Structure 1
């Protein structure tokens, strides 16, 4: 096996010898990797944690697996941080479980939850790794969903702000990078329109859920997401940023939308897709109101911002985090139904043939196309929003683990996307960090445990949840440590046995 791998690596030496290098990026450019609380921690019923909407989502029969144990990151965090340090990661992106820290959604702090996140952050800092913390990653206490509907109710703005206040006060002396909400643009569409993520609300014929309203709820939720985000940013800036000297932003999932044809109709459909996926969030944060495209299409379904709310929204970010995975084709799809009968996709009047109901691309695409899409979206962000500071918070390639640890396709993926990113930066994009998804294999939102994104493979059939390094982990380590070429240090790699933790 070792000999065979050695020949394989030599065959890639030419590919790596002229490829992108760590030194091509600024010295302070941040390279990291990430996970999220429900997907990695496990210990779902331990030490005072209460069920989150993701726990309930799974218990209702939705989703693709339970996070009761997941990757057991709750117990294995020290071992994971040790692996990060050995790899040479500069940063680790993770989320804080609201259900673990404040189990009732408001009120008393859970001492065990506080202890865990303090320990994790201390462990990272002691190894020279920056903590990049997300406050909401598709989960919050089920108690709040039961009490008032979660994101459907304006009350969540105050509760989320109070939760953030606890996080800033308890962890902000060591955390300098905060994200309020992960994939804020998908919380409403996926969680309350398609029903594909927690809390899994939707209505026929737009989804098959036990409750919900796909026509109205995504707009209500998006409004409250924006208000909650701007409230938390306002709190951080007025109370903490001066002394803690950190930064705070919002995270979006982003696609490059390519019209299926050169027709004017398809070109306009591509613009509408951007408006509904990106501008819906960023136009209020740059100009204080929703895009005219959405106002016209959604009509009375769209809430209005007060003057004070609009003022608080404008400029309410220090950076924008982007989760980038794919290019989506777009074609014009006229919808003659009145607004009160159309869901978001109907209001957009565009079809995304490669976009499944579950809210992710349905077909693989060429590496060249996917990588060039990253360059395109960064260019559009620069031109459309006055070149904001950006972190690529997620980028990766799912593979079905077949017993091999030679994920060369993932290595090619990283190289191509970093080259595309570098091109965008040379053209002026103010991108300051790149995080792979994911550090270890986790419970994936759409593929469960069937898809492996991790730099480290996790054996989910093993009660110990042992970690095994993929080839991509060694490539990334060599890249970060300024190896002579992409593959030149890998000759000693073999099937991981003694390396397991």
Structure 2
């Protein structure tokens, strides 16, 4: 296991290995099949409760912070009251999973559907829904991977004590998790406590771009009127780490001996590269990695926050007590990563302010992603080597823990065009890059495409979509070209040795 002091030297080595690429992924180079992956590696797809279930006011469910946020007009007037109506159409959706050949499915549980008051009495109708859904997956041989928190704690707890700004949230979350383990753990063997713990803390408490929409001038959005961007992200992140670790302790002590499952946490992870080859930009890149990834991974692996965070944030960063350090360190069986694209980092240490973003670096000198100038603004640039770089860094810097790629997908404008060739290119490139990382020793255990179908997107509403299936106004699901490609891959076809990929390749060649 590497020490914190050894981390910085790895960035330079990784940049030499991975390279700072400037060209799109060469589709002709990577041919592979499902058989190139270990037999116990799992391929799947995912959605989340608020984004897919709908039935927002049915069968005892109470509002989550996302309901409140969306109904206040913060998503361009869009909400997920109905969205894909997965609450009523789950059997149809599982049948589509079977037809596609999915080996696993990642979903989240709505805390406010299962325990409407946030604590106390369990809602029998919510309990029945999740039992039915899990049973449907298992009966068709699809491995369920459950997420306990996908940015949607009950609004009643936000109103009562401020949600994740209060230590009370730790106890309430553990009690909620206890219900889930007790009721579903005989069938669910893969548990993720928090989805994108780092981005939830930043978006909700620093930038105000997501619920509970807390931030402060001049760091957050203009109409954000409450919060403190300099302090609250650290407090929320600290309480989330304690909630995760306390939940893992409960699971390992009470449930794991009987259920033999695994528990982990999920982070959003860009891969960061220096804007230039200067020492300043390289140091800024490492600082950014420490603040975005090390913020959570360092306590989990090494037992404390990165030194650069403690140095810069000082007393605004909560300190772990000795018992808490013991609780947090090693409190995971796996780490989940959501990765979509890479960013350039330019140093701005000469103008450090007091919130997290100004303490790290300038993302892309002008906020741009790598290669954005050559990319459709509705799509992510396709640089799969970023995933390989990320996985190689985690291997070297954090002792190669078990990893699941929980989300990875191509954003496109939402419409009824089922010929989503850029998404096929994206899938092909990133799965190939992951395979390269695994061949180089990465301990990656599974891959889940985001998302199974076009859902309500937390940042984009219904303007953008990531789905393998298009969902029309009548809630009918239609497979896209990417669904056919992914299905063919899962059923053993070579990545480029099938009719679908040749269609994509011909279109790409014609456009270039």
* TM-score relative to the length of structure 2: 0.88
Question: How far 1:370 moved relative to its partner?
Answer: 1.9
Instruction: Give the Cα–Cα distance (whole angstroms) in 1 for the partners of residues 299 and 347 of structure 2.
Output: 25
From 169, 191, 200, give the equivalent of 1:156. Answer: 169
- The corresponding residue for 2:420 is 407
User: Contact between 2:30 and 2:429, CA under 8 Å: does it hold in 1?
Assistant: no
Counterpart residue number, 2:194: 181
Worse-superposed segment, 264-273 or 342-351: 342-351
Shift of the alpha carbon at 1:484?
Answer: 5.7
Following superposition, the deviation at residue 335 of structure 1 comes to 4.8
Contact 2:188 2:261 in 1 (8 A): yes
Deviation at 1:211, TM superposition (A): 1.4
Alpha-carbon deviation of 1:483? 2.5
Change (3 A) 1:235 1:292: same
Contact 1:90 1:128 in 2 (8 A): yes
Please say if residues 20 and 415 of structure 1, whose CA atoms lie closer than 8 Å, have aligned partners that are also in contact: no
Report 1:268-417 matches (<5 A): 268-336=283-351, 342-353=354-365, 355=367, 363=372, 370-417=383-430
CA shift in 2, pair 1:353/1:442, >3 Å = farther
Distance 1:354 1:255 in 2: 16
**Match of residue 263 from structure 1:** 278
| Structure-2 residue corresponding to 1:251 | 266
Equivalent-residue separation in structure 1 for 2:343 and 2:33 (angstroms): 29
**1:349 offset after TM fit, Å?**
4.2
Instruction: Report if the CA contact (8 A) 1:333-1:351 is conserved.
Output: no
Residue 229 of structure 1 aligns with which residue? 244
Return the offset for 1:371.
0.2
Q: Deviation string for 1:8-32 (max 9, x for gaps)?
A: xxxxxx9689622111111111000
Q: Is the 8 A contact 1:475 1:487 kept in 2?
A: no
| Partners of 1:181 and 1:259 in 2: CA distance | 29
C-alpha distance after superposition, 1:339-393 (max 9, x if no partner): xx6111122244444648xxx9994777886200000000000001000000000
Match of 1:34 in 2: 46
Unpaired segments of 5 or more residues in structure 2?
Answer: 1-25, 504-512
Specify the alignment match of 2:253 in structure 1: 238
Equivalences, count: 470
Partner of 2:64: 52
Deviations 1:271-299 (A, max 9, x none): 00000000000111112111110000001
> What is the RMSD computed on CA atoms of the aligned residues?
2.1
Query: Taking structure 1 as the reference length, what is the TM-score of the superposition?
Result: 0.90
Question: Is 2:487 the counterpart of 1:477?
Answer: yes
Match of 1:216 in 2: 231
Counterpart secondary structure, 1:204 = coil
Q: CA deviation at 1:248?
A: 0.5
Could you tell me how far apart the structure 2 residues matched to 1:234 and 1:269 are? Answer: 35
Work out the CA distance in 2 between the residues paired with 1:386 and 1:349.
26
Q: 2:86 aligns with which of 61, 73, 86?
A: 73
Q: CA deviation at 1:51?
A: 0.4
CA shift for structure 1 position 243:
0.7
Q: Give the CA deviation at 1:183.
A: 0.3
User: Within 1, Cα distance between the matches of 2:74 and 2:420?
Assistant: 30
Distance in 1, matches of 2:334 and 2:68, equals 32
Q: What is the rounded CA distance, in whole Å, between the counterparts of 1:210 and 1:83 in structure 2?
A: 44
Mapped to 2, the partners of 1:423 and 1:74 lie a distance apart of 38
Tell me if 1:466 matches 2:481: no
Question: Conserved in 1, the CA contact under 8 Å of 2:382 and 2:426?
Answer: no
Residue 115 (structure 1) shift: 0.3
Match of 1:204 in 2: 217
Query: Where in structure 2 are the equivalents of 1:412-491 lying within 5 Å?
Result: 412-459=425-472, 461-462=473-474, 465-483=475-493, 486=496, 488=498
Alignment of 1:132-143 (within 5 A): 132-143=145-156
Partner secondary structure for residue 99 of structure 1:
helix
Indicate if the aligned counterparts of 1:16 and 1:487 stay in contact, CA closer than 8 A: no
Distance (Å, rounded) in 2 between the aligned partners of 1:489 and 1:17: 17
Equivalent-residue separation in structure 2 for 1:426 and 1:145 (angstroms): 45
